[in-house]
Amino acid sequence: TGATSPVDLRAQVEDYVQKPLLRVDGVSEVQVNGGDVREVRVEVNKDAMDARRVTVQEVAQALQLRNVTVPGGSVVEDDTELLIRTPGEYVSVDEINDTVVRPGTPPIYVRDVATVVDDFETRDVISRLNGKESIVLSVRKATDVNTLAVSDDIKATLDKIGAANPNWDIVVGGDLADQIQGSADGAIEDLLWGALLASLVILFFFRNIRSTVITIAGLPVIMISTLFFMDMFNISLNQISLLALALVVGLVVDDGIVVRENIMRWIERGYSPREAASKGTEEVLLPVLATSAAILAVFLPVAYAQGIIGRFFRDFGLTVAIAIVVSTFEALTMAPMLSAYFFKPSKNVGSIDESRAREEAGRTALDRFYARSLNFAMDHKWIVVLATVLVVGLSVLSVRYINQSFLPDIDQGQFEVGMELPPGTPLEITEREALKVEEIIRSHPDVADVFGTIGATSSPNVANFVVQVVGGVDAEVSSRDIIAELRPPLADVPGISFQLSDDVTGGDTFVGNRDIIIEMVAFSGSYEQLGQEADRLAEEIRKIDGITDLVVSYKPGQPEMQINVDPQKAASFGLNTAQVGSTVRTLVNGEVTSSYRGEGAEADIVVQLNEADRNSVNSIMDIQLPTPSGQFVPLRNVADVSYTTGPTTIQRVDRQPTVSVGMNVV
């Protein structure tokens, strides 16, 4: 945001923000939304054209032929090559007014039939930051590049831009790299804690510093080797693979513990560390391989599962499998080698020293407790069976009380609010209502920033807000709690449908119906009948306590006015539907004829009927259509008008139209 006008701010952002960001390594696209885009509009007057028998096609063609620069080759004069160019591009708006539309006595100029306005394009999207007009830039990275590195470079570039433009307020509304970095930091922290706790557990049972150090020494080797092979299998460091690495910290030391404990046993028998390493490893070779194979049999199928589960957990299964294979290799090679060179021969062969005695006493106590428990279980087998059945039964019953979801809820420190007004609502009314909704959202004390996007392509009746929570991902209040507190005041706003989601992925909340927990799909031969049935079903569902964010996929379509050309009448004047439709489109919607580069930023030159004439149905029907004979015929003589709703997006399953009713549960 900034203190300049929306037109100037948009132009400055395109020159001084978009272009530098496109030069950042790894950035593939920078999309700019919001602000005003300059446009030179030639607004033709219907009465003036009719009086002079001038068509809009003549005006557009005159502008195209006048606003050109034609290369003419080159010539050599005095040993110098000169390029030939015939410049004719407009350098001022007055030149556009002075363009000759039709030569004659007197000639007809553009100013005689039109008004040239140096203005801006009609908006279809409005962007706001905390209630202020803003420009939103969406930056997309190229494939196979490091998200964190690209994000750091982008932020460094934005810092330089902000320092050079102190009157701008540059705010990062959302950064996927923050979530990735947070997940990576959390996984690495879990990994380090896991390594520390594993070391303490090993020390507790081995009661030998040297043996513990040798065991833990293999951990960094295993992890680094796992990362190497992950790269060979094209596995990136993501939330799933980092979770796998944190999980295997305890698994990868198991084989090493078995090997080292057996080597220690052979040393206590009087063998040298070198002999003990050889004999001890050979003795447990098959059990170690069997244990690793059993773990691989569990996790490898996960990596190659079919469907969405397989795509999600491929990295997880492969990472665990790689780590297990590497740890097995380390336990059978590096572990014996370290034991052979760093273990000391036993000084008391066949005897137990004082510290060892205390250790064995502790183990004996554990053995005695386990033996008593085992004897009780063997002597009271029916009690054990009944207790097992009871535990299993209670476990099965408790499943219905456990919350279930595809993935765990992750608080991103932000949430999304989507609003939708009835189809046909113009952008101006949507903006007015969106400002009211934004005030409700910003009134919450835990809301930091609100990024609003009002309108969307072909959907001026929708708006979307991305809300940043105070404290971000470390906020004291969760996004879901804030959403729950905002639902009642938003529900009191009449005539607007809302959908709130704590899963922010960008885009329009209503377009994709994201974050829907329950969805019902109905089939029928008629899309309109499906819509009616879905609305009735939605009304019944609203009566159920705990249901929220009810969304019906059926949309009645945008109200439209259809100009129905009579082929027979049009043909009698030498016209067809394409010619009639093209003339109406040029006059009402406008046609870009060329570009204007004078006096500031480049702008399109658009020929269009003036606003007073194009916003009246009667005026549109009075449009004079040129015929091949050089005569003119009013549009109403070859067409009539009807009002209906335009086509909408129809969902299909097995070629049948479907309508879905989606909802969330509080």
Each residue of 218-237: pLDDT tens digit? 888 888 999 999 989 888 87
Position of tokens 């009713």? Answer: 661
What does the DSSP assignment read for 596-634?
E-SSSS-EEEEEEE-HHHHT-HHHHHTPEEE-TTS-EEE
In the chain, residues under CATH classification 3.30.2090.10 are 6-123+137-174
Of the pLDDT bands very low, low, confident and very high (cuts 50, 70, 90), residue 352 is very low
Q: Is the pLDDT reported for residue 390 higher than 90?
A: yes
Please state which of the ranges 183-187, 211-215, 244-248, 423-427 shows the lowest mean pLDDT. 183-187
Q: Is the pLDDT reported for residue 368 higher than 50?
A: yes
Of the pLDDT bands very low, low, confident and very high (cuts 50, 70, 90), residue 520 is low
Greatest Cα pair distance in the chain: 127
Please, where are the H alpha helices in 83-146? Answer: 93-97, 110-113
CATH code for residues 178-351: 1.20.1640.10
pLDDT value at position 209?
80
Give the residue-averaged pLDDT of 157-168: 87
Q: Are 177 and 151 in contact (CB under 8 A)?
A: yes
pLDDT value at position 453?
87
Six-digit token string for 326: 């590497």
Running DSSP on this structure, what letter comes out for residue 17? I
Is 3.40.190.10 the CATH number for 411-515?
no
Half-sphere exposure (Cβ direction) of 212: Cα atoms closer than 13 Å: 15
Please, where are the H alpha helices in 101-146? Answer: 110-113
Position of tokens 């535990």? Answer: 391
Is 3.30.2090.10 the CATH number for 6-123+137-174?
yes
pLDDT value at position 363?
55
pLDDT value at position 48?
92
CB atoms within 10 A of CB 309: 11
Give the residue-averaged pLDDT of 278-295: 92
Please, where are the H alpha helices in 501-658? Answer: 509-512, 527-541, 567-572, 577-588, 611-614, 617-621
pLDDT value at position 294?
92
Q: Is the pLDDT reported for residue 577 higher than 50?
A: yes
What gap in Å lies between CA 406 and CA 329, rounded to an integer? 35
pLDDT value at position 64?
92
Residue 106 CA to chain centroid, in angstroms? 61
Q: Is the pLDDT reported for residue 524 higher than 70?
A: no
Give the residue-averaged pLDDT of 423-448: 90
pLDDT value at position 509?
47
Give the residue-averaged pLDDT of 57-63: 93
Six-digit token string for 135: 């420009």
Q: Is the pLDDT reported for residue 330 higher than 80?
A: yes
pLDDT value at position 260?
84
Give the number of residues written for the chain.
666
Higher pLDDT: 556 or 145? It is 145
pLDDT value at position 478?
84
Give the residue-averaged pLDDT of 319-341: 90
Q: What is the mean pLDDT of the chain?
A: 83
Each residue of 611-636: pLDDT tens digit? 888 888 888 898 889 888 888 999 99
What gap in Å lies between CA 246 and CA 192, rounded to an integer? 8
What gap in Å lies between CA 442 and CA 430, rounded to an integer? 18
Q: Is the pLDDT reported for residue 350 higher than 60?
A: no
Q: Are 452 and 441 in contact (CB under 8 A)?
A: no
Sheet strands (E) in 46-99 = 70-77, 80-86
Of the pLDDT bands very low, low, confident and very high (cuts 50, 70, 90), residue 364 is low
Q: What is the 3-state secondary structure (H, E, C) of 451-464?
A: EEEECCCCCCCEEE
Q: What is the 3-state secondary structure (H, E, C) of 253-275?
A: CHHHHHHHHHHHHHHHCCCCHHH
pLDDT value at position 348?
54
Please, where are the H alpha helices in 84-146? Answer: 93-97, 110-113
pLDDT value at position 438?
92
Q: Are 163 and 151 in contact (CB under 8 A)?
A: no
Please state which of the ranges 18-22, 33-37, 328-332, 572-576 shows the lowest mean pLDDT. 33-37
Closest CA to 89 of 620, 603, 570: 603
**Type of residue at 444:** H
Q: Is the pLDDT reported for residue 490 higher than 50?
A: yes
Of the pLDDT bands very low, low, confident and very high (cuts 50, 70, 90), residue 407 is low
Of the pLDDT bands very low, low, confident and very high (cuts 50, 70, 90), residue 78 is confident
Give the residue-averaged pLDDT of 185-200: 78
What gap in Å lies between CA 35 and CA 13, rounded to an integer? 10
**% pLDDT > 90, the chain:** 24
Q: Are 323 and 252 in contact (CB under 8 A)?
A: yes
What gap in Å lies between CA 259 and CA 254, rounded to an integer? 9
Q: What backbone phi and psi angles, to 5 degrees, belong to 546? A: 90, -5
Higher pLDDT: 247 or 206? It is 247
Each residue of 632-653: pLDDT tens digit? 999 999 999 988 876 566 677 6
Q: Is the pLDDT reported for residue 169 higher than 50?
A: yes
pLDDT value at position 36?
80
Running DSSP on this structure, what letter comes out for residue 18? I
Six-digit token string for 156: 């460094």
Q: What is the SS3 assignment for 4?
A: coil
pLDDT value at position 398?
85
In the chain, residues under CATH classification 3.30.70.1430 are 411-515
pLDDT value at position 666?
67
Q: Is 97 exposed, middle or buried (0-12, 13-18, 19+ CB in 10 A)?
A: middle
Give the residue-averaged pLDDT of 247-267: 84
Q: Is 114 exposed, middle or buried (0-12, 13-18, 19+ CB in 10 A)?
A: buried
Six-digit token string for 658: 């479907």
Q: Is the pLDDT reported for residue 97 higher than 90?
A: yes
Sign of torsion, CA 126 130 134 138?
negative
Each residue of 260-278: pLDDT tens digit? 888 888 888 888 888 989 9
What does the DSSP assignment read for 427-483?
HHHHHHHHHHHHHHHHTSTTEEEEEEEE--TT-TTEEEEEEEETTGGG-SS-HHHHH
pLDDT value at position 506?
52
Six-digit token string for 591: 């046609």
Residue 261 CA to chain centroid, in angstroms? 51
Q: Is the pLDDT reported for residue 511 higher than 50?
A: no
Six-digit token string for 213: 């150090």
Position of tokens 């529900």? Answer: 491
pLDDT value at position 382?
92
In the chain, residues under CATH classification 1.20.1640.10 are 178-351
Six-digit token string for 300: 């490898």
Q: Are 534 and 659 in contact (CB under 8 A)?
A: yes
What gap in Å lies between CA 173 and CA 472, rounded to an integer? 11
What gap in Å lies between CA 127 and CA 10, rounded to an integer? 11
Q: What is the SS3 assignment for 20?
A: helix
Q: Is 234 exposed, middle or buried (0-12, 13-18, 19+ CB in 10 A)?
A: exposed
